[in-house]
Structure 1
Amino acid sequence: MTTPPEHYDRLLAAHYTWMLGSDIHANARDQAELLRRLGVQSEADEDAAIDLGSGPGPQTLALAHLGFSSVTAVDTSRALLDELAGHAKTAGVADVVRTLHADLRDALPRVAGPATAAVIVCMGDTLTHLPGPADVRALLKDMTHALRPGGHVVVTYRDLTGELRGEGRFLPVRSTEDRLLTCFLEYVDDDTVMVHDLLHTRTEGEWHLQVGSYPKLRLAADWLTDEALRAGLEVRHSAVGPRGMRVLHAVKPVEGPITPHA
């Protein structure tokens, strides 16, 4: 089975910014506005932010524009991190941004000491790329450990627990005159859906097809909220946000434990 990092390296990384609409800086402004509405902002001169699954950098740039003194971007794709570095230079925030080519599951202890991070984001459906629910639980615990009291976690993801049927499983991603990306979903079990990508590109008047598949987790909103509570976070917001993505916003309490749902 192709893993999500392998699928991105082989197929999607070269087209990811195009998938987002081609203007990474406009996308970054949208992400900054979302974070601002959630109350995420720098409050001190040495506030550090971490972007898990940064891709080409819309969230990383957003955090830099929100005033964080350092933003660490973590991704499994070297190509996307290199692209991000170029965008950071164009945006004038290269001195704030640093990149780390690493697996999300072991990155936090490498980039943040206990109770040091002001904000950790894991956005753009990155969380569903983890191998299983146990990995999500472990990452939430690592986030809580790395956050300072009062620090923020923001996650955006697609809730794939509702099964689409028939033609509804075919989802257009984006199309322009020289590129067309469509995917369809195959439901494997209660935890996993296989995403099959069909990418058509036109070169010198001829269309070429590339295909690839990778697994995604089916994360229910109530389950993720409960796991965040069990990890010691206070959930402040969980709802459908822009482009149909669910948004989870949580904060590490300043004092006292959080009691999880039964």
Structure 2
Amino acid sequence: MAVTFQKFENEHMSFYSRLSVVYDRLFPGSENQVQFLRPLLKGRVLDVGAGTGTLMQKLAPGLDHIDGLESSPDMLEQAHFKLQETPNARMTLGDMRDLKGLFSGPYDSIYCVGNTLVHLDGPEEIRGFLKQTLDLLRPGGTLILQTVNYDRVLKEEVRTLPLLQREKISFQRKYAPLGDRIVFIGTLTQNGQLVGEETTLLYPLTFEELKKWLIQTGYTDLKFHGDFDQRPFEPEGPALIAVARKPWASHINFDQITGQVGR
């Protein structure tokens, strides 16, 4: 099928408006990702950072309902079109820092993949997000998170990610350190000509930080992987994937338990 890029001719379009036109070609979705997530999802599910809805569309069969949250109006428009024949899927435009203001829950599963989590502004916002997911999950519910492995990025001083190229479209991704943050520079080109460039400040979340904050939030039964093939997490691996559960007994008097143990 021929691809047209006439929308790129509008010089006033934002970077993400331009990216949304070719997003599905640059990020077609991984079957390994689907196979990893499917056994962990049931009932009512929330996708945080749903993009153009590709993953929701693939995961919706077999679920009671799946909500998707996206902050880009252009991505949301693509998702609405894609999901119009998926009756148990619903997209919402909004900010992931306001999960409880946008969704009422309870959910059986919540996932946030595609390096979305590190767009939050540092430890306080990440911990706040984790607390909101815990509140929105049913007891026994599952949280799945996936980011780039920033342990490797920091240790090996990674500055460039693999070039994404589909037909005549290229997406170059670079990192530049800035204090305790990383500047992500995304450059979109067509036929070698610059289409758009965006810089975004990311928080390089490490394995130890994520593990600690999940435990502090109240999550249990933590499992960590290095990719969607379920290989164990390694500091040199490409990704950090966490699977955690909300305890069945969500209201525990730890002082009482400590006292009983001491008797």
Q: TM-score per shorter chain, which class?
A: 0.7 to 0.9
Residue 140 of structure 1 aligns to a residue whose secondary structure is helix
Which residue of structure 2 aligns with residue 3 of structure 1? none
1:60 matched to 2:50? The reply is no
Which residue of structure 1 aligns with residue 259 of structure 2? none
Give the 3 Å change call, closer, same or farther, for CA 215–72 of structure 1 in structure 2: same
Residue-pair matches, total: 232
Choose from 81, 95, 101 the match for 1:86: 81
1:74-119 Cα deviation digits (max 9, x unpaired): 0101211221222223xx42x1011110001102342124xx1111
Give percent identity, aligned residues only.
Answer: 21
Distance in 1, matches of 2:68 and 2:55, equals: 9
Give the 3 Å change call, closer, same or farther, for CA 96–246 of structure 1 in structure 2: same
1:99 matched to 2:106? The reply is no
Residue 250 of structure 1 aligns to a residue whose secondary structure is strand
CA contact 2:114–2:146 (8 Å) conserved in 1: yes
- Give TM-score scaled by structure 2 length: 0.79
Residue 125 of structure 1 aligns to a residue whose secondary structure is coil
Which residue of structure 2 aligns with residue 212 of structure 1? 198
1:201 matched to 2:211? The reply is no
1:31 matched to 2:33? The reply is yes
Partner amino acid for 2:96? L
Which residue of structure 1 aligns with residue 227 of structure 2? 241
Give the 3 Å change call, closer, same or farther, for CA 146–177 of structure 1 in structure 2: closer
Q: Once superposed, what is the RMSD of the aligned Cα atoms?
A: 2.5
CA contact 1:7–1:214 (8 Å) conserved in 2: no
1:132 matched to 2:118? The reply is no
1:42-191 counterparts in 2 under 5 A?
42=42, 47-65=43-61, 67-89=62-84, 92-93=85-86, 95-113=87-105, 116-161=106-151, 162-163=153-154, 168-190=158-180
The structure whose Rg is larger is: 2
CA drift at 1:170: 2.5
Distance in 2, matches of 1:62 and 1:233, equals: 27
CA drift at 1:165: 6.5
Partner amino acid for 1:212? E
CA contact 2:17–2:75 (8 Å) conserved in 1: no
Distance in 1, matches of 2:41 and 2:110, equals: 12
Partner amino acid for 1:215? L
Distance in 1, matches of 2:167 and 2:58, equals: 30
1:119-162 Cα deviation digits (max 9, x unpaired): 11111100011122111000100111111011110011012243
CA contact 1:234–1:258 (8 Å) conserved in 2: no
Distance in 2, matches of 1:126 and 1:198, equals: 18
CA contact 1:9–1:77 (8 Å) conserved in 2: yes
Which moved further from structure 2: 176-185 or 50-59?
176-185
CA contact 2:15–2:196 (8 Å) conserved in 1: no
Residue 16 of structure 1 aligns to a residue whose secondary structure is helix
Give the 3 Å change call, closer, same or farther, for CA 175–7 of structure 1 in structure 2: same
Distance in 2, matches of 1:70 and 1:252, equals: 20
Partner amino acid for 1:231? T
Residue 163 of structure 1 aligns to a residue whose secondary structure is helix
Give the 3 Å change call, closer, same or farther, for CA 106–214 of structure 1 in structure 2: same
1:250 matched to 2:244? The reply is yes
Partner amino acid for 1:195? F
> Where in structure 2 are there 5+ consecutive unaligned residues?
1-12, 229-236, 255-263
CA drift at 1:11: 4.9
CA contact 1:53–1:126 (8 Å) conserved in 2: yes
